[in-house]
Structures are given as structure tokens and as C-alpha cells.
Amino acid sequence: MRYSALSIFRQALSGNRNWAPMWREPEPKPHYDVIIVGGGGHGLATAYYLAKEFGITNVAVLEKSYLGSGNVGRNTTIIRSNYLLEGNEPFYEFSMKLWEGLEQDFNYNAMVSQRGIVNLFHSDGQRDAYARRGNAMMMHGVAAELLDREQVHKMMPYLNYDHARFPILGGLLQKRGGTARHDAVAWGYGRGADSRGVDLIQNCEVTGIRRDEAGNVQGVETSRGFIGCNKLALATAGHTSVTGQMAGLELPIETHVLQAFVSEGIKPVIDNVITYGAGHFYISQSDKGGLVFGADIDYYSSYAQRGNLATVEHTIEEGVSLIPGLSRVRVLRAWGGVMDMSMDGSPIIDRTPIDNLYLNCGWCYGGFKATPASGFCFAHLIAKNEAHPVTRLLRLDRFKRGFAVDEGGKGPQPNLH
């Protein structure tokens, strides 16, 4: 069914009892052209673009739990393309352009809201760094504005401008940045893939990768039996090392937990997305009124989808130091997601040493904004066996060859990216 204002009106007249399920629940077939492991945002987007853009529809997405149960449902929903480096900026800008047409493209309300993102700076050196980043964006045709203190004050009067140690001197604004409704992104891609013939198979955990004598992948062992495939694609960020080791891959990844928080609903106050330059705090306000925020990872390796109370305290201290009024807001919920922290802070979309095994991983905690471009470029790679131009630097072998894409300049220590 195609969604429209008329369909909503019609269904309302019948008490909303006749909506069809958004996707089928098929039994797995014995063999597919392509199997995608991971029914999160990136896996579902990959399936969608494989079917829609590249005409490959004999595809299964295998998800160990329910669709969108991982990080696509656990993030702070920020979308942006304000990166510095050549390997990143064109990719994230491609993603931003896909976000801008996404809802019309997949006929689903993902609540994409281009409310603008401001990265605050608090020292002369930081202003220079943001000016450089804004210039790098403009060299790739992406608009950026360097705001001074008065301009930021006009937009956001509630910030702590005269903090003794970290006064706000200004910010870098990307007006096209903003937020989207994370669950709806997964559902929209899932529905679009399903309607084009992709089998979305839930509660189907991959437990092994079967390979022939030449080393090529024949299929996967799952909790619902063996399923064969011509090409296997891993989109299991957070657990990439677990699935990668089933095929003996050497990976530049450590898994860490990142927490996020939402407050009780309050009246509209934060119109944009704000990031705190003196800490790692970032915040926006959902359409329902809750303040959605987060900060650093917990720094220790973890596969558990929950974090430590000390990090909760640290996050909220950062928040209150930036926005004193937050001290009177109550936190409603907190949760954790597990991240592939890569050795340079940038993702990997590449082929692997195994001919018919494809890898999408290393998203650190920036994977949500990348969902559309990640899916599109991964589908391109799987369909054509060659990298999409905007992911040509996001290779698996870049560390060995000395071409890391280290946006933060922090070196090969995953918990610092």
C-alpha cells in the first residue's frame, strides 16, 4: 500500500483497523543471490538500494533479533555532513543529499528535520580549527557558516556564555544538518526492501560462515538452519568482530559501549542540534519535547548494551555546564549501544580477502547519519564489485598501506575516536 494523506483519512474512517503489516514474515529460502547479515539501518538500507537501484531482489536480510533492535534504534538521531577530511566529507554529503529526498523516495515519514547543527567553540585555537573545517566543507560544495558569539547568543540565549573556563566564543553552523526519526528510518527502508521482494528474516542469528575449499563463502549457518548465497555482506556494526571471525577476518576494531539519554518532555526550547566544544556533549529536542543527549563512550571494551553510572554523571555534568537550566530537568530514560570503534575513527565499506564476502563496519558512534549513503554505497559495491567513488578511501587495507582517515588526529587508539 502506498501511504498518502488520503490513505490516512480512509483508514481513520474505519478506525485504523485495516492497515496491512509493513512487511511479510517469510520463511528463509534455501539459497539467495545476496545475504545481508544484520537487519539494522545499514543492512536494511543496503537491501533497499540493492533492489531499487541495482535490480538485485533475490536478497535476504538476516537479523538475530527484531528489525532495528540495535543501534539504529539507540542513537541520538543527528544527521549532518560537517566533516574535514577528503575521505569523509564527500561521503557524508552524499548521505545528506539522500536524507533530503528520502521520505519521498521510500514513501515513509522519517521526520527528517533540517533544523541546523551548531558546533560551539571556546578558544581561539578551536575557532581556527572550525574555520578550517568550514572551509574544507565549502571546498566540497557544502554550505557552512562561522558564527560569532553574538550570532550564537541570538539563536541560543540559554547557553552559559560566561563560563569561567570555557566561555562560548562562537560556533560553526551547518543549516542543513538536523535530526530524523531513527526507528522510522529502519522501518521505511525495511518496508521498501520487502515490497521489492527482499526477504526480511527476523530472529535468525548467524552462527557460522560456511566456505568451500577455495575459501569462498557458500552460505551461512543460522539458528534457523543453513542458508546458501552467492554473495555475503556483513553489516553487523557493534558485533563485526564476532561475525568477521567466523570467516577469519583480521579487523582493526574494538567494541565499546556508548550511552544516550532522553529527558521528560518539556516545551520547545532547543531549536537546533548543539555540540559542546569543551566536552563531548551533544543535544537536541525531539518533536515530542524530550531532550535527547549524550557524550563520550565509556572508554572500556564492552558488548553489553548498558553503561556505567560514572559516565552518566560525567555526561550530565557536561550538559549542565553548557546549559545551566538542564539541572532542573529530569532524565526519563538512558540506554546503551555497542559500537565498532575503528583504529582511525572512520568506517570501512570494502571487499575482503575472501572473494564473495563484503564488509560494512567501523561506524564508531557516527553510523546513523551515514545510513542512506552507507546502504547505497554498500549496495553499489555488492552489485558491481567496485567501490562507489565516495567510499574509495574507506578501505579495509588503508591501515596497512598507511592511509588512515583520522578525522580527529588521535592515532590508532579506538576509544579516543
Partner 1 sequence: MASLITCPHCGIRPKEEFSIRGDASPVRPAAAASDDAWYAYVFVRDNPKGRIIEHWHHSAGCRRWLVVERDNAASHEVYSVTDASVHAKGAAR
By the criterion CB under 8 A, which residues form the site for partner 1?
Answer: 239, 241-242, 245, 250-255, 298-304, 307-310, 343, 399-400, 412-415
Nearer to partner 1, 199 or 340 (CB): 340
Minimal distance, residue 394 CB to partner 1, in Å: 15
Nearest to 38 by CA among 226, 199, 202, 180: 202
Chain Cα centroid distance, residue 363: 7
Nearer to partner 1, 239 or 380 (CB): 239
Minimal distance, residue 262 CB to partner 1, in Å: 22
- Give buried/exposed letters for 334-345 (b at 16+ CB in 10 A, else e): bbbbbbbbbbbb
Minimal distance, residue 372 CB to partner 1, in Å: 27
Minimal distance, residue 336 CB to partner 1, in Å: 11
Nearer to partner 1, 4 or 245 (CB): 245
- Give buried/exposed letters for 75-102 (b at 16+ CB in 10 A, else e): bbbbbbbbbbbebbbbbbbbbbebbeeb
Nearer to partner 1, 147 or 354 (CB): 354
Minimal distance, residue 182 CB to partner 1, in Å: 25
In terms of phi and psi (left: phi > 0; alpha: psi -120 to 50; beta: otherwise), the region of 311 is: alpha
Minimal distance, residue 350 CB to partner 1, in Å: 15
Nearer to partner 1, 389 or 411 (CB): 411
Minimal distance, residue 398 CB to partner 1, in Å: 10
**Main-chain dihedrals φ then ψ at residue 179, nearest 5 degrees:** -140, 165
Nearer to partner 1, 7 or 301 (CB): 301
Q: Are strands 59-62 and 199-201 parallel, antiparallel or unpaired?
A: parallel
Q: What is the DSSP string of 44-64?
A: HHHHHHHHHHH----EEEE-S
Tell me the sheet residues that pair with 170.
121, 148
Nearer to partner 1, 6 or 309 (CB): 309
Nearest to 179 by CA among 108, 107, 284, 276: 284
**Looking at this protein, which amino acid is placed at residue 136?**
A
Minimal distance, residue 344 CB to partner 1, in Å: 9
Minimal distance, residue 251 CB to partner 1, in Å: 7
Nearer to partner 1, 306 or 384 (CB): 306
Compute the radius of gyration of the chain from its Cα atoms. Answer: 21
- For residue 191 the three cell numbers come to 518496508
Is residue 100 within 8 Å of 175, Cβ to Cβ? no
Residue whose C-alpha cell is 545476496: 34
Nearer to partner 1, 4 or 301 (CB): 301
**Looking at this protein, which amino acid is placed at residue 283?**
I
- Which residues have a Cβ under 8 Å from the Cβ of 155 and sit 6 or more positions away? 118, 147, 271, 272
Is residue 304 within 8 Å of 336, Cβ to Cβ? yes
Minimal distance, residue 242 CB to partner 1, in Å: 6
**Main-chain dihedrals φ then ψ at residue 53, nearest 5 degrees:** -95, -30
Nearer to partner 1, 298 or 318 (CB): 298
- Alpha-carbon distance of 171 to 185, in angstroms, equals 29
Nearer to partner 1, 93 or 340 (CB): 340
Nearest to 83 by CA among 41, 144, 171, 151: 144
Minimal distance, residue 100 CB to partner 1, in Å: 36
- For residue 331 the three cell numbers come to 532524565
**Looking at this protein, which amino acid is placed at residue 89?**
E
Alpha carbon of 97 to those of 48, 103, 142: distances in Å?
17, 12, 11
